[in-house]
């Protein structure tokens, strides 16, 4: 919704014709364009990772992550990175690579949901994965990636590890000004 509002306002301001009929026309046009972009990004991600048999709702849910950030990091890019890391780790330890990759890609799917519940993104994501018909092992990995639920498979543990690696790498997260100043003061001391 934020992207639709931003793009609509930019187009209306650049056009200069701001009246109710024009506003409605632009918002509808931008909404269609954003919905198409969401689906395209979801499909592109699945293609790039070689993941198949995702429901239409799953493709859209992935695509919505393109417009989300967490700690300054694009959530879709983070999810792709976690999926690639999980696949490599799974191969090294003899786990199911495809399962680990799929679960890792979907681990933050709840961050793209538009809901007002009190559930955290892992709970929302697990419910979304359940509705999308995902394997119970994938659902468990999504639900347990922050240890809210007990992981039941090695692939769920791999998703936790890959998520931690992606989030901890240098440059992954934007540092707040307060933390930056504190770090500088510690260095000076």
Predicted confidence (pLDDT) per residue in 102-125, tens digit: 999 999 998 888 776 778 888 999
Name the packing angle between helices 136-144 and 154-168 (round to 10°): 40
Question: What tens-digit pLDDT sequence spans the chain (189 residues)?
Answer: 788 888 888 888 888 778 888 888 888 998 899 899 999 999 999 999 999 999 999 999 999 999 888 877 889 999 999 999 999 999 999 999 999 999 999 999 988 887 767 788 889 999 999 999 999 999 999 999 988 899 999 999 999 999 999 888 776 666 666 776 777 788 888
Q: Which of 147, 61, 168, 49 is nearest to 108 (CA)?
A: 61
* Stated pTM of the model: 0.82
**Which region holds residue 68: left if phi is over 0, alpha if psi is between -120 and 50, else beta?**
beta
Residue 73, strand partner residues = 70
């Amino acid at each position: 919704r934020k992207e639709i509002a931003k793009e609509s306002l930019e187009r209306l301001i650049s056009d200069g014709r701001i009246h109710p009929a024009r506003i409605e026309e632009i918002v509808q046009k931008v909404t269609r364009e954003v919905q198409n972009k969401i689906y395209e990004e979801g499909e592109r991600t699945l293609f790039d990772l070689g993941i198949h048999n995702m429901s239409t709702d799953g493709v859209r849910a992935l695509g919505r992550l393109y417009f989300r950030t967490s700690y300054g990091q694009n959530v879709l890019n983070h999810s792709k990175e976690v999926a690639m890391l999980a696949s490599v780790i799974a191969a090294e330890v003899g786990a199911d690579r495809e399962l680990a990759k799929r679960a890792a890609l979907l681990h933050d799917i709840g961050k793209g949901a538009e809901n007002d519940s009190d559930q955290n993104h892992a709970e929302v994501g697990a419910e979304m994965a359940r509705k999308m018909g995902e394997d119970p092992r994938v659902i468990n990995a999504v639900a347990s990636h922050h240890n809210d639920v007990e992981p039941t498979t090695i692939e769920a543990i791999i998703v936790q590890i890959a998520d931690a690696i992606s989030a901890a790498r240098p440059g992954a997260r934007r540092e707040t000004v307060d933390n930056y100043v504190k770090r500088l003061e510690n260095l000076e001391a």
